[in-house]
Amino acid sequence: MIALPAEITQPLSEIERDFTLAFTADGLTDADLAVTGFRLEEAISSLFQAEIALASPDPGLDLTALLDKPARLSVLDRYGPPRHVHGVVALAERGDTGAHHTRYSVLVMPALHRLRFSADCRIFQTKSVPEIVEAVLKENGVSAYRLALTEPHPAREYCVQYRETHHAFIERLLAEEGIAYHFEHAEGAHTLVLTDATKLAPDAPGAEAIEYNATPGGTVKGPHVGRFTWREVVAPSDVVQRDHFFRNPVHDFEARAQASALNGLTRKLEMYDYPGRYKADAVGKAFTRYRLEGLRDEASHGEGAGRGARLLPGHRFELTGHPDPALNRRFLVVAVSHAGSQPGAVEADAGDGGAYLTTSFRVIRHDTPYRPDAPTKPRVEGPQMAIVTGPAGEEIHCDAFGRVKVRFPWDRSGRADDTASCWIRVSQGWAGASWGQMAVPRVGQHVIVDFLEGDPDQPIITGRAYNAREPVPYPLPANKTRMTIKSKTHKGEGFNELRFEDEQGREEVFVHAQKDMRVKVRHDRRKRVDHDQSESIGHNKSIDVGGNHVETIAQNKQLTVGMNMNRTVGLTSSEEVGMMKNTVVGVNQTVTVGEQHVINVGKEMLINVGETFQLTVGKATLTLTKDGHVTLTGTTLTTDFSEQVKHWGKVIDLNPSR
């Protein structure tokens, strides 16, 4: 910011002095205090400071009774309404004591200055900047404020005050949104005014128009401008910003602002920055415009000096009588410095020969938007630990993107539920388009939170860590060779696990499924076990083979079925036994053949039946019983032998009577 020009100091004689300086303070209402001089510095989006020199016949005024109390400096003259500067005493000082008076000095500042001495770390969610600023002001006892806003200021999803004083925090937020502030003074109060449209600024009360008068020599009385300088300064012509938002990752969110009036600039001067700290095109467009207007608001500006105690920052006045007609116009006061002296206010001082009242100021055209420079945003100097939070009774709380909410150790709000923070993205080992790795941090787990470019408003979870409350899955260092991926049943005591043991001689891969386990192979699956394989199934086993099933067993196979065994073959069943086959049936065996049953025996076929053997074909039956009876029944018996038929028996009875 360009320094203000030195004020014009024109000492006035006691007769010529046409103003009076007065001071009152709540802490010393009965004190005899005379103002001997003052200096007042004011600017848009700045805390005014009034340094006031006082004298009193009382050498023992209680400075503590004065500190932080409301006070008022008044400039009284016959040219307009009183000019009051109301605030609170930020500093009180006792100086030297002379023959009749003791020198004192005080520093009067707005009540807003108190916010410089308190800081916090806190989170605001789904609130606009005006709402946040109002909340901070009210919490800190600043109730005299007024909003004069004309532009939309959308709610911010997540906004953090991190290791900032309350004043630095709200000043930064206001500047980011293009909102300036100034103060209006009355006899008993001062009001903070927040505005995003300085081109609609009101006229300075009692100083709506001020005459330019540079007449050398003599004393110019009353409000006037004795010196005025106009400057044209090179400034950027364009501002371009970009940002990134995970909900629309391919969009560059580029916003561009270009100056419409270049005050003689012959080439493009573009300022590009990233990130712009916005997540919507409309917001980016506004932020970029604010940025350009802030860089160019003093590309054309004027500086002047004279006498104008009623000039106020954030207000307009019209300059008249300048020899350059282009400068006879309305201006917006950006900064102003007032100084005055009335040594004659103390009777012991000889006359008023050193009295003066001067003003120096800086202005821009009244229709040029003024945007304050945004202070540097605090950075988080590295990752932080946080605890995952969620609604009461819930163990896993996430959104469609796997984001979770956390509570930071520095957050004193006491919130440890689903309102503790914004949704925070979680870094995963792999993240593709509907593929990759996903492990949602659970409520109560400690996570490592980093911040994009150190921005406290943009947290991202990059890791997790065990602690005394959340111990490791297996005691260490006893199990230092064990690596595991172990989960926990949601609202239960079970777990799923894939574990690797790397201890030499005990190497093992362990898989535990608390309930079901599903394996899907889209093509081939091959499994090789170099030694033994055991399989134990507590209930049922089902195998569904779409094509062929081939098993090769080098030695023996044993199959034991505790109860029933059913086998269904759709077409053909073949069985080949190299040597012997033994079949033992404890009770019954039934064989049903739909058409043919063929048995081929190379040598001998022995059938041993304990009770009865019966062979039935249609109406013919052959029955053999254990007592030696052989019965053959049917309708016709035909024998055809090419050699012999022999029958032996004690009695051979052919066709006996029945």
pLDDT of residue 244: 95
Q: What is the pLDDT of residues 357-382, one digit of tens each?
A: 999 999 999 999 999 999 999 999 99
pLDDT attached to residue 587? 84
pLDDT of residue 590: 84
Q: Which residue has the higher pLDDT, 349 or 387?
A: 387
pLDDT at 15 (0 to 100): 40
Q: Token pair 């300085």 is at which residue?
A: 198
List, for residues 277-309, the tens digit of each pLDDT value: 999 999 999 999 999 999 999 999 999 999 999
Q: 210 Cβ partners below 8 Å, 6+ apart?
A: 223, 224, 225, 306, 308, 311, 317, 318, 319, 320
Q: What is the pLDDT of residues 77-105, one digit of tens each?
A: 988 899 999 999 999 999 998 888 999 99
29 pLDDT above the threshold of 90: no
Phi then psi for residue 174, to 5 deg, are -60, -45
Extract the tokens encoding 492: 């239960």
The arithmetic mean of pLDDT across residues 265-271, rounded, is 92
User: What was the pLDDT predicted at 349?
Assistant: 52
Q: Residue 592: its pLDDT value, please? A: 84
- In this prediction, residue 221 carries a pLDDT of 67
Give the pLDDT score at 1.
35
Q: Of all residues in the chain, what percent carry a pLDDT higher than 70? A: 95
Q: Which residue has the higher pLDDT, 189 or 19?
A: 189
Q: What angle do CA 37, 43, 48 make, to 5 degrees?
A: 50
Amino acid at 336: V
243-264 pLDDT, tens digit each: 999 999 999 999 999 998 888 8
CA–CA dist 360, 320 (Å, integer): 17
Spatial contact of 150 and 201, defined as CB atoms under 8 Å apart:
no
Mean pLDDT rounded to a whole number for the chain: 91
pLDDT class of 3 with cuts at 50, 70, 90? very low
Task: Please tell me the distance from the alpha carbon of residue 242 to that of residue 632, in angstroms, as a whole number.
Answer: 105
**Res. 220: pLDDT tops 80:** no
pLDDT surpasses 90 at 609:
no
pLDDT at 2 over 70: no
3-state secondary structure labels for all residues of 203-226: ECCCCCEEEECCCCCCCCCCCEEE
- Cα Rg of the chain, angstroms: 49
pLDDT at 452 over 90: yes
**Residue 295, SS3?**
helix
Domains and CATH numbers, the chain: 1-233+298-378 (2.30.110.50), 234-295 (4.10.220.110), 384-464 (2.40.50.230), 471-501 (no CATH)
- Quick: pLDDT tens for 632-643: 898 988 888 888
> Strand, helix or coil at 271?
strand
Share of the chain above pLDDT 90, in %: 73
- The partner residues of 85 in beta bridges, in order of sequence, read 73
Question: How does residue 139 score in pLDDT terms, banded at 50, 70 and 90?
Answer: very high
**What are the tokens at 255?**
């916003």
Phi, psi of 303 (to 5 degrees): -135, 135
Strands (E) in 59-205, as ranges, are 70-77, 83-97, 102-109, 119-127, 145-148, 156-165, 180-185, 190-195
Predicted local confidence at residue 625, as pLDDT: 93
Would you place residue 16 in the very low, low, confident or very high pLDDT band (cuts 50, 70, 90)? low
First-to-last C-alpha distance (Å) of the chain: 142
Q: Can you tell me whether residue 282 is helix, strand or coil?
A: helix
Stretch 550-560: mean pLDDT: 89
Given a cut of 60, is residue 30 above it in pLDDT?
A: yes
The three-class DSSP label of residue 133 is helix
pLDDT at 631 over 70: yes
Contact of 161 with 358, CB cutoff 8 Å: no
Those residues whose C-beta lies under 8 Å from the C-beta of residue 82, and which sit 6 or more positions away, are 74, 75, 76, 187
pLDDT grade for 9, boundaries at 50, 70 and 90: very low
Is the pTM higher than 0.85? no
Mean pLDDT for 329-334 is 98
What are the pLDDT digits (tens) for 101-118?
Answer: 999 999 999 999 999 999
Beta carbons within 10 angstroms of residue 608's beta carbon: 5
Tens of pLDDT along 43-63? Answer: 999 999 999 999 999 999 999
Give, in degrees to the nearest 5, the angle at Cα 333 between 327 and 338.
110
| Residue 198: φ, ψ to 5° | -65, -20
